[in-house]
């Protein structure tokens, strides 16, 4: 009986740690919520280029600029910690600031999320989707010949997510072949 309780507690903790959507903006919480969020994840060879742009209000952006080194360290550290739980590696991270647009931009590459067997590729995007509480199928991502995209509100912040994929003859559809997707994976045949 005690072992079942411990196992249940462990599974609950693991589920919360991996899927809790409010962890997604935790690195910026000391500055408040951004006004808008745009995430682009683009397949580049066997890696994914990740770009997250956060739009801020005037006062908040001034505070971020004043605290620039701490913001950069916190953003990179939090993102790396959140993503690496999914068995992927975060490389070449940087944070830039657009003072005209009042945005911060996190850029990095994610390796270990795309596999190749002969000429068939499979990309695992659970590292991107699950911390946001999203899913390619259940969240209603729009399917196109070269992308899957979603827009809505996460944690009270208008958010856009676009996953750019190798172009195909038709849209990436759920459970389709030779190119398609499931809840967190995308597959295709040909070049990455």
Cα 9 to Cα 11: distance, rounded to the nearest angstrom: 6
- Report if residue 88 sits inside a domain: yes
14 is a domain residue = no
pLDDT at 4 over 70: no
* Average pLDDT over all residues of the chain: 88
The tens digit of pLDDT for each residue in 73-114 reads 999 999 999 999 999 999 999 999 999 999 999 999 999 999
End-to-end CA distance of the chain: 50
Higher pLDDT, 86 or 17: 86
Contact 81, 18 (CB under 8 A): no
Instruction: Over range 36-48, report the average pLDDT.
Output: 97
User: Where do the H-state alpha helices sit in 102-151?
Assistant: 126-129
127, part of any domain: yes
The residue among 89 and 17 whose pLDDT is bigger is 89
| Strand spans (E) along 59-178 | 89-98, 103-111, 114-117, 120-124, 142-143, 147-154, 157-164, 173-174
What pLDDT is stored for residue 7 in this prediction? 44
Exposure b/e, 60-73, CB count within 10 A at least 16 = b: bbeebeeeeeebbe
CA distance 96 to 113: 25
The pLDDT assigned to 12 comes to 36
Task: Report the DSSP beta bridge partners of residue 158.
Answer: 153
Convert the pLDDT of each residue in 136-180 to its tens digit: 999 999 999 999 999 999 999 999 999 999 999 999 999 999 999
**Residue 10 domain-assigned (yes or no):** no
Structural domain boundaries enclosing 38? 22-189
CB atoms inside a 10 Å sphere around CB 148: 23
Flag whether 1 is in a domain: no
Structural domain contains residue 7: no
Residues present in the chain in total: 192
In a domain, 118, yes or no: yes
In a domain, 9, yes or no: no
- Exposed/middle/buried for 168, CB within 10 Å: 0-12, 13-18, 19+? middle
Residue 173, token pair as written in the block: 């559809």
Q: What is the pLDDT of residue 1?
A: 54
Number of domains in the chain: 1
Residue 192's pLDDT is what?
Answer: 64
Using the predicted structure, report yes or no on whether residue 25 has a pLDDT greater than 90. Answer: no
């Amino acid at each position: 009986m005690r072992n079942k309780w411990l196992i249940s507690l462990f599974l609950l903790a693991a589920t919360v740690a991996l899927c809790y959507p409010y962890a997604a903006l935790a690195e910026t919480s000391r500055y408040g919520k951004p006004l808008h969020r745009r995430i682009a994840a683009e397949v580049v060879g066997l890696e994914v280029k990740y770009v997250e742009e956060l739009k801020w209000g005037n006062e908040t952006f001034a505070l971020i600029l004043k605290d620039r080194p701490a913001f950069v360290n916190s953003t990179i550290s939090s993102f790396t910690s959140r993503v690496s739980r999914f068995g992927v590696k975060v490389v070449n991270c940087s944070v830039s600031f657009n003072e005209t647009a009042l945005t911060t931009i996190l850029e990095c590459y994610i390796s270990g999320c795309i596999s190749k067997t002969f000429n068939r590729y499979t990309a695992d995007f659970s590292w991107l989707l699950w911390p946001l509480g999203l899913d390619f199928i259940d969240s209603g991502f729009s399917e196109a010949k070269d992308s899957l995209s979603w827009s809505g509100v996460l944690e009270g912040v208008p958010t856009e997510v676009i996953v750019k994929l190798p172009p195909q003859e038709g849209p990436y559809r759920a459970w389709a072949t030779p190119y398609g997707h499931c809840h967190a994976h995308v597959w295709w045949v040909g070049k990455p």
